[in-house]
Chains A and B, each alone.
Chain A
Amino acid sequence: MSEQRLRVFLVDDHGMFRAGVRAELGAHVDVVGEAATVAQAVSMIGSTVPDVVLLDVHMPDGGGRAVLEAVRRTQPQVRFLALSVSDAAEDVIGLIRAGARGYVTKTISPDDLVDAIRRVADGDAVFSPRLAGFVLDAFAARPDAPVADPELDQLTNREREVLRLLARGYAYKEIAKELFISIKTVETHVSNVLRKLQMSNRYELSRWAADRRLV
């Protein structure tokens, strides 16, 4: 922990929750600022330049997605970790597609949260088992579904395997052991999944959402 402390920014419209997170994280990372509204968040993230932004999904004036889209235009290097009380599929997938590097729910333990922040700051993706489940669901093999760019939109078998293990509650380290690959390779697979999720064609995802009566 001698390395440089990570600079974290909090965006959440509940002051109590921000205070709680700040108290929990204070020992491990520097909380450089917090914001309660989209406009405030966008301007303050611009001036503080944090490593990682912890982003609430549901806020009164547009939500985390609005912050993400506004900041990414000017500061693509800032990484986002969504921290939401909702684990509804449309929220998770929507935020990941907008460019968040990970998604955790507010029931996460402080240690896991610190770990997730570290991984996101390192350029890695953070998948909870539930998120892995959503992704598997979204990319479920549909041989009959027309796909614009199969290379881009389909998960490889290996990626699918990694996701399954993630969904089964395995840690990266355990996945590496199970599949006889290095942890680095696991991380690469997960990052690829995330990239594919962000770029996957709209048709597939909208169909998936429609199947589940999400839209």
Chain B
Amino acid sequence: MEVTVSGGLTRGRPCAGRDTIDHVSTSVPETPRLTRSRSDRLVAGVAGGIAAHVRLSPTLVRIIFLLLLPLNGLGALLYAVFWAVLPAGEDGGRRRPSIRLVPFVLAGLALMAVSILINRDGGIGMTVGWLVALVAVGAGIIWHQADPDRRQRWTDASPNAPWLAALSDGDRRMYVLRFIGGGVLVAVGMIGVIVIYSPKTIGAISWGDLWIAVAFALVALAGVGLVAAPLLWRMLTALRAEREGRIREQERAELAAMVHDQVLHTLALIQRNAADQAAVTRLARGQERSLRTWLYQPTGSPTEHFAAALQAAAAEVEDTYGIVVEAVVVGDRKVDERVAAMVAAAREALVNAARHAQVKSVSLYAEAEPTMLSVFVRDRGTGFDPTAVEERRHGVRGSIIGRMARHGGQAEIRSTVGEGTEVRLSLSVTSLKEE
């Protein structure tokens, strides 16, 4: 059975392809949502959008707007307000942030114009108009930031952490800037209005009055903040909980996959081979090893790390020959050609022990010191007389002794009949230390 383990938990990547709710397609086809039309537009698509929504001719809607224009600029004001408030339609392309401010400015200007028309004499009325326009623009900007579609876009961009996406997104800076800008505009406007409507004339306004006005404005803003804070907090915690839940879910899924791919299959194989003691042991041992690796061991690629390479070789021999290899590796280092040769020699020693020693278990001990690698493979099996058999044992001569010699290492084989065998490999690695 071949078992591959990707050791260690790989934290889940966000599923970029997660389905998002498609708002557009769920809307009933007869009455399109009230949006600014992107296709049918002269200025910003407001008239086109409204026309589509109320099923009238766009031209008629435009005429209505024009007719309203002379009434103290009501047409323009309405148009600007719709522009600001209505979301862009289906293929609503992204516009540059500065252009998105245009409707607010227009709304402000329109309000100002209205106030001028109402108070032709200027003076306080005119100033109030300006200030109201300020408040309108600021509020509009803040309102625009609260646009749920925008949040949805962030959520789409990065389902795990929309707030993070919003932060990293270039959009986010604009968001904060405009939010603050809007807040300042609103505050200034309110302060102005309060000051002007204080019982004194403009010339007599003292700093004290101004401070009182500032205080009022701040209290008002704080009130808004108080109202909004719990909502924001709830949203943040909900998002965090959702994110943690998803991570947990992913870990659970990974564990389930592991159990499914390996444990269940092994158990099924064991059931089928219940009569074959050796097979059951081999399967159980292999499964134990792979689970153990998955649970406890740090990741390491067998092609890069000495320890991992040895463990992999030991595992392979275990699986092939149905023996237990007690592998102990102290220290680690990167694998290069010579180290790989040493691992191969160690593997050959394990294979020899598994094949000839007639034992159930073999010890493999390896130590990686700064200047020296040592590997010991020991069994307590039948043993042999090295002087008597070495000539015809090409496995030992070629694969172990010869291989080590070719790569500048040593191999020593100690064996006593009846007491087992130990293969000692050593490789000096001083010159390779920096590689």
For the residues of A in contact with B, the DSSP-based class is loop
> Are A129's CB and B330's CB within 8 A?
no
**Minimum CB–CB distance for A95 against chain B, Å:** 15
Task: Give A78-118 as 1s and 0s: 1 = Cβ < 8 Å from B's Cβ atoms.
Answer: 00000000111100000000000000000100000000000
For the complex, give the distance between the alpha carbons of A168 and B295 in Å. Answer: 25
**B:358-406 near A, CB below 8 Å:** 363, 365, 367, 369, 376, 378, 380
Q: How far is the CA of A136 from the CA of B422 in the complex (A)?
A: 20
Cross-chain contact B365 with A167 (CB below 8 angstroms): yes
Provide 18 A-B residue pairs closer than 8 Å at the C-beta atoms, listed in order of the A residue.
A86-B295, A86-B296, A88-B295, A107-B288, A129-B326, A129-B328, A130-B328, A132-B328, A133-B328, A137-B330, A140-B330, A140-B331, A168-B363, A169-B365, A169-B378, A169-B380, A170-B378, A213-B298
A164, A168, A212: the one contacting B298 at CB < 8 Å is: A212
Which of B292, B296, B365 counts the most A-chain CB atoms under 10 A from its CB?
B365
Question: Which chain A residues border B363 with CB–CB below 8 Å?
Answer: 129, 168-169
With A88-B296, A213-B298 known as contacts, the answer to whether A164 contacts B367 (CB < 8 A) is yes
Q: Is A136 a contact partner of B378 (Cβ separation < 8 A)?
A: no
CB distance from A206 to the nearest CB of B (A): 17
Query: Do most interface residues of chain B lie in helix, strand or loop, or is the interface mixed?
Result: strand
A 138-177 to B, binary, CB cutoff 8 A, 1 in contact else 0: 0011000000000000000000000010011110000000
A140 to B367, CA, bound (A): 10
Name the contact of A169 in the complex, choosing from B288, B326, B367 (C-beta under 8 A): B326
* Complex CA distance for A91 and B292, rounded to whole angstroms: 13
By a CB distance below 8 angstroms, the chain A residues around B331 are 137, 140
Query: CA separation between A168 and B328, bound complex, in Å?
Result: 8
Complex CA gap A86/B288 in Å reads 11
Contact status A164-B296, CB under 8 Å? no
- Min Cβ gap A204→B in Å is 15
Residues of B within 8 A of A87 (CB): 292, 296
With both chains docked as a complex, state the minimum distance between the C-beta of A164 and any C-beta of chain B, in angstroms: 7
A158 to chain B, nearest CB (A): 17
Q: Are B365 and A129 in contact (CB under 8 A)?
A: yes
> Which B residues form the contact surface with A (CB < 8 A)?
288, 292, 295-296, 298, 326, 328-331, 363, 365, 367, 369, 376, 378, 380, 422
With contacts A86-B296, A136-B367 known, is A130 near B326, CB below 8 A?
A: yes
What are the 6 closest A-B residue pairs judged by CB atoms, nearest first?
A169-B363, A133-B328, A88-B296, A168-B365, A168-B376, A167-B365
Q: A167 touching B296 by the CB < 8 A rule? A: no
Question: Please, which residues of chain A bring their CB within 8 A of the CB of B292?
Answer: 87
Complex CA–CA separation, A87 to B292 (angstroms): 9
Complex Cα distance, B8 from A88, in Å, reads 13
Q: If A86-B296, A88-B296, A129-B363 touch, does A168 touch B330 (CB 8 Å cutoff)? A: no
Name A107's closest neighbour in chain B (CB-CB): B288
Q: Which B residues lie within 8 Å of A141 (CB)?
A: 369
How far is the CB of B373 from the nearest CB of chain A, in Å? 14
How far does the Cβ of A127 sit from chain B's closest Cβ, in whole Å?
11
Task: Note all chain B residues with C-beta closer than 8 A to A213.
Answer: 298
Chain A's closest residue to B379 (CB) is: A169
Q: CA–CA, A15 to B331, complex, Å?
A: 38
Compute how far the CA of A86 lies from the CA of B297 in the bound complex, rounded to whole angstroms: 11
Interchain CB contact under 8 A, A167 and B328: yes
A136 touches B296 (CB 8 A): no
Chain A residues, CB < 8 A from B380: 169
Central interface residue in B330, B363, B369, by most chain A CB within 10 Å? B330
B422 touches A168 (CB 8 A): yes
Quick one: closest A residue to B296, CB to CB? Answer: A88
Separation in Å of the B103 CB from the closest CB of chain A? 55
Select from chain A the residue with minimum beta-carbon distance to B292: A87
- What's the Cα separation between A87 and B369 when bound, in Å? 23
Residues of A within 8 A of B365 (CB): 129, 133, 164, 167-169
* Additional A-B contacts beyond A89-B296, A133-B328, A137-B330 (10; CB < 8 A): A86-B295, A87-B296, A129-B326, A136-B330, A167-B365, A168-B363, A168-B376, A168-B378, A169-B378, A213-B298
Minimum CB–CB distance from B399 to chain A (whole Å) comes to: 21
Chain B residues within an 8 Å CB radius of A132: 328
**A170 to B298 CA separation, bound complex (whole angstroms):** 27
A167 adjacent to B330 (CB under 8 Å): yes
Q: List the B residue with the shortest CB-CB distance to A130.
A: B328
User: In the assembly, what is the distance between CA of A88 and CA of B292, in Å?
Assistant: 9
Q: Find chain A residues with CB under 8 A from B330 CB.
A: 133, 136-137, 140, 167
Alpha-carbon distance A168/B296, docked complex (angstroms): 22
Complex Cα distance A89/B298, Å?
Answer: 11
Which residues does chain A contribute within 8 Å of B288, judged by CB atoms?
107
- Residues of chain B within 8 A (CB-CB) of A88 are 295-296
Closest B residue to A143 using CB positions: B370
Instruction: Please report the C-alpha to C-alpha distance between residue A84 and residue B42 in the assembled complex, in whole angstroms.
Output: 78
Which residue in chain A gives the minimum CB-CB distance to B378? A169
Could you say which of A129, A136, A164, A169 has the most chain B C-beta atoms within 10 Å of its C-beta? A169
In the bound complex, what is the Cα–Cα distance between A51 and B407 (angstroms)?
53
Give Cα distance in the complex from A212 to B297, angstroms. Answer: 9
